[in-house]
Amino acid sequence: MVLSLNLCASISMLAPSLAIADAEADREAFVAYFKKQFSTVPYEDYVNGVYALNKDARSQWEAIEEFPPYEIDVEEGQKLFETPFKNGKTYASCFDNDGIAIRQNFPYFDVKSGEVHTLEQDINACREKNGEKPLKWKKGNIAKISAYMAYTSRDKIINVVIPDDPRAKAAYEEGKKFFYAKRGQLNFACADCHIYSPGRLIRTETLSPALGQVTHFPVYRSKWGEIGTLHRRYGGCNKQVRAKPFKAQSRQYRNLEYFHTYMSNGLPINGPGVRK
Amino acid sequence: MKSVIKSITTFTALTAILGVMSFPPVLAADEKSVMEKGKSLAFDRKKGNCLACHVIKDGVSPGNIGPPLIYMSARYKSKEALHAQIADATVANPNSLMPPFGKHGILSDAEIGKIVEFIYSL
């Protein structure tokens, strides 16, 4: 209830541009679709991914969440985040609110470059600005820093903004198209698995709904044995259908993240998460 | 049943040794091995991986994205029609979630043929 009130408030504050109107209509249809498919699942529960639908797996997962394997990553991420660069500055100097409780505003459209920026991208931009080498994109320190920043943003409501700029609208549209396009030798769209088949089994794996998929990234996966970023997961889901994955932080994946996260506007951040 | 198969095999072996090919029993043995090959192709994760989405008799931990594959000879008038469905499911349903095994070269036509023999027997 509180959630939906928040949402109404934030929507009415936005300028009524066409881009926003279209994306907002998309998002509303998206949410309505899942509500109809899974009438017993409360909206806020979508942040729990597959566990919102699979009760058996859920209790096991809840037990894991008591002593989550990502705890150490959050701690290490905090240490990395707070350790000064050689020039004495820290990551805090590069972000709004010193980098605390801001995860919900990513990704965003950067007017200067005309492109979508992700949190990971800005972490590396901050390093380079301060004379440090960029980190590898998919795992390791970047995922730990991202995990810490997500952790400080828990319960903040996702608020991805599409400004009134044709380039922003084009980026959103490209991400949306990506999500619905069939690809790979096995001919699957993201939507095939995460819109048309959530709750169903692909072999022994229950498929999660696209709504809420991004809220808990980065994620510690037992399959990886470590924490990894959203784009690492994108690559995995592309490879799974025998499609060539795009590079982490490629324009394609950033635009995908833009659309994908916009669909979860209104849901709270609960990252980092833990998954199979 | 077992003893029949056994005797067929022995017979085949014998005829092979003798170099005399007598058709009917040889076909029966081949049909059985074709079916068996079809089954392993259908179950193999790197090949058909049909169990990812379909319940199939004898298949362990199947998914349920597609319908259970049963009574196929009642569903399909001919093996050709079944072959066509597996070769390219997007003909019957353009938005099909089923991979177009033939069209995308996931399976060869001969492999699909063997799978058809197996599936049609269900």
Q: What CATH number should be reported for the domain holding residue B50?
A: 1.10.760.10
Q: What pLDDT score was predicted for residue A14?
A: 44
pLDDT tens-digit profile of A41-66? Answer: 999 999 999 999 998 899 999 999 99
Asked if CATH classification 1.20.1250.20 holds for the domain at A11-67+164-275, the reply, yes or no, is: no
| Inside any domain, residue B11 | no
pLDDT band at A98 (very low <50, low <70, confident <90, very high): very high
Superfamily of domain A71-151: Cytochrome c-like domain (1.10.760.10)
pLDDT tens-digit profile of A120-131? Answer: 999 999 999 999
Collapsing DSSP to helix, strand or coil, B75 comes out as helix
Q: What pLDDT score was predicted for residue A18?
A: 56
| Contact state of A187 with B64 under an 8 Å Cβ cutoff | no
| Contact state of B99 with A204 under an 8 Å Cβ cutoff | no
Most B CBs within 10 Å, among A50, A190, A192, A201, to test the B interface: A201
Q: What pLDDT score was predicted for residue A174?
A: 97
Our CA-based measurement puts residue B49 at a distance from the nearest CA of chain A, in whole angstroms, of 9
| Inside any domain, residue B16 | no
Phi and psi for A15 in degrees, rounded to 5? -65, 140
Structural domain including B61 reads 27-120
**Are A247 and A145 spatial neighbours (Cβ–Cβ below 8 Å)?**
no
Tokens encoding A245: 């994955």
Looking at the partner chain, which of B62, B64, B99 has a beta carbon nearest the beta carbon of A186? B99
The pTM for the full model equals: 0.88
For chain A, which residues make up each domain, given as ranges? 11-67+164-275, 71-151
Q: Tell me which residue of B75, B87, B78, B74 sits closest to B115, measured CA to CA.
A: B87
Taking only Cα atoms into account, the Rg of chain B, rounded to an integer number of angstroms, comes to: 17
Q: What is the mean pLDDT of residues A158-178?
A: 97
| Inside any domain, residue B102 | yes
In chain B, the number of structural domains is 1
Q: Which residue type, as a one-letter code, is found at position B20?
A: V
Numbers of helices and strands, H then E, in chain A? 10, 7
A201 shares contact with chain B (CB less than 8 Å): yes
Mean pLDDT of chain A: 93
A237 carries a ligand binding annotation = yes
Our CA-based measurement puts residue A184 at a distance from the nearest CA of chain B, in whole angstroms, of 9
Q: Which residues does B contribute to its contact with A (CB < 8 Å)?
A: 51-53, 61-65, 90, 97, 99-100, 104-106
Tell me: pLDDT of B23 over 80: no
